[in-house]
Amino acid sequence: MGTLAALALTLVAAGCSGDECVDAFDCRDKGPAPEGQAYACNADAKCELRALPPVTGTDAGTTTDAGTTTDAGTTTDAGTTTDAGTTTDAGTGTDAGTETDAGTTTDAGTPDGGPQVCGGPVACKEQSIDELALRTNIATGLVQAEGAPQGQFLTFLDARAGGTSSTESYTYARFTPTGLVKVDIDDQSALASTAWDIAVRRYNIRVNSGVSGPSCVTVAQTPAGTGFDAVTSVDPASNFLAEAYFTANTCEFVPDESGINAPGTAMATFWRYNNCLAMTNKVFLVQLADGRHVKLQVASYYEPAAQEQCNASGTLPATSGAAQFRFKWAYLP
């Protein structure tokens, strides 16, 4: 009985004291605290709500304050792959030019008589050797400068080729800023060489293009009656042609209009027949492989005095000096 009384007295004393907690753990029965607050056990052993201290991480700089990926520059702002230029915009292999666009071997010309373009193999080679009697020995004829006004050239070219039977090759030459220079090459080798621009033998003049050679030397004719000095530039309407004295694909021989079965070369109109070779004084525009242009006039086929006689009367002196050309020419701007 005494023990029970003591226990009851203890319980009453505790209840009367009103102690609610010893620490915050005892306040768990209060339930969840409102946002921003928490229960704490105060000095009176009572559970009370207290405001939570501020989070210091924000002041020190959160990811947002310090600069998010967006503020610092996203991949889009800095330039996406598309803005900076994709492979397509920068130029694919096709846009930059495939081998087909740049010119295939077929476009450049075939050796069996197909269309031939600058730089390709020469078509109708065997036909040229037979029809033009192309030789394998180098011509002995000279190419040398003669007096001419400043800015012009007068060049002597010996095209006799051993006589009327043409036992030697054409005389080959190339245009240079200091004059026409002879190229020591034989006819058949010349069919595969870009070292020469123009060739003469007897009354034939060829340039290095088309069926005549693998280079890009082409010829345009000025209107009839055009004087040499009147040509000061290249007319944009000029029609430059490669040598085509054989037909494409079939390699049929194309003669000039003289009636003597001479090849119809690009410069065949430099003469007309008047019982001798009279000069037409035609001015030709020659486009060289490097893109430069030359104006050229065949001043004479015979020695100058004999040529004047032929032009005027259709007759020749006993010694005419046939096949000894004089070219009057000059570079055009």
pLDDT digits (tens, 9 = 90+) for 121-162: 999 999 999 999 999 999 999 999 999 999 999 999 999 999
- Mean of the pLDDT values across residues 230-250? 97
pLDDT at residue 244 is higher than 90: yes
- 5: which 2 tokens? 């009384």
pLDDT tier, 43 (very low <50, low <70, confident <90, very high otherwise) = low
Q: Rounded CA gap, 132 and 134, in Å?
A: 5
The pLDDT assigned to 170 comes to 98
Window from 24-28, 51-55, 300-304, 315-319 with minimum mean pLDDT: 51-55
The residue ranking higher by pLDDT, 112 or 122, is 122
- Mean of the pLDDT values across residues 72-96? 40
The residue type found at 5 is A
Is there a contact between 2 and 17 (Cβ–Cβ < 8 Å)? no
Q: Rounded CA gap, 203 and 138, in Å?
A: 18
User: Which residue in 332, 319, 324, 333 sits closest to 155, CA to CA?
Assistant: 324
Window from 57-61, 137-141, 213-217, 315-319 with minimum mean pLDDT: 57-61
Q: Residue written as tokens 């087909």? A: 100
Nearest-5° Cα angle at 292, 172 to 297: 60
Window from 34-38, 122-126, 187-191 with minimum mean pLDDT: 34-38
Q: Rounded CA gap, 198 and 26, in Å?
A: 116
The residue ranking higher by pLDDT, 306 or 26, is 306
The pLDDT assigned to 56 comes to 41
Buried b (16+ CB within 10 A) or exposed e, 204-241: bbbbbbbbbbbbbbbbbbbeeebebeebeeeeeeeebe
pLDDT at residue 270 is higher than 50: yes
pLDDT at residue 106 is higher than 90: no
User: Which residue in 206, 281, 219 sits closest to 245, CA to CA?
Assistant: 206
pTM of the model: 0.66
The residue type found at 171 is T
User: Which residue in 173, 218, 233 sits closest to 198, CA to CA?
Assistant: 173
User: Residue 287 contacts by C-beta under 8 Å, 6 or more apart in sequence?
Assistant: 216, 217, 218, 219, 220, 240, 293
- Mean of the pLDDT values across residues 106-112? 38
Q: Rounded CA gap, 114 and 119, in Å?
A: 14
pLDDT at residue 18 is higher than 80: no
pLDDT tier, 29 (very low <50, low <70, confident <90, very high otherwise) = low
pLDDT at residue 281 is higher than 60: yes
The pLDDT assigned to 23 comes to 62
The pLDDT assigned to 27 comes to 66
Is there a contact between 309 and 317 (Cβ–Cβ < 8 Å)? yes
pLDDT at residue 99 is higher than 90: no
pLDDT at residue 242 is higher than 50: yes
Is there a contact between 41 and 24 (Cβ–Cβ < 8 Å)? yes
Query: Distance between the two ends of the chain, CA-based, in angstroms?
Result: 139
Q: Residue written as tokens 């405001």? A: 51
Q: Rounded CA gap, 310 and 276, in Å?
A: 6
Is there a contact between 294 and 331 (Cβ–Cβ < 8 Å)? yes
The pLDDT assigned to 260 comes to 86
Return mean pLDDT, the chain.
Answer: 79
- 110: which 2 tokens? 């075939």
